[in-house]
Amino acid sequence: MKTTIHTESAPAAIGPYSQGTAFKELVFTSGQLPLDPTTMAFVEGGITEQARQSLSNLQAVLEAAGASIDSVVKTTCFLSDMENFVAFNEVYTEVFGTENAPSRSCVEAARLPKDALVEVEAIAYIK
């Protein structure tokens, strides 16, 4: 049986989807945008600030499900412009490190919701 994940510590869904879904010991998050969960506005700044906020929102959803950044096995990262790849990687490495980092796909998207610079989703296990 699946369980819908919801936390006030991450932005509310802006469409007909949940922040995440747990099934048995797995957690599947929806893409996390760089929205401040309180104001539902983008954080100020560029790719670095937006990446940090997206990953912070991802962490909040994972924790609400009983998982954590350390239990992530796969991420999918969407960038509005691959010119931001190096800067995104710097923030991503701060969060996930390089040892035992999860599998990852990182692609350029023609356009992200609300014209975000980045969106990140993950699959993790519940510890």
Does the pLDDT value for residue 96 go beyond 90?
yes
Strands 118-125, 26-29: pairing kind: antiparallel
Please give the class, per CATH, of domain 2-125. Answer: alpha beta
* pLDDT band, residue 29 (cuts 50/70/90): very high
Active site includes 106?
yes
* pLDDT band, residue 126 (cuts 50/70/90): very high
The predicted structure's pLDDT at residue 14: 86
Identified catalytic residue from 106, 109, 125, 126: 106
N-terminal to C-terminal alpha carbon distance within the chain: 18
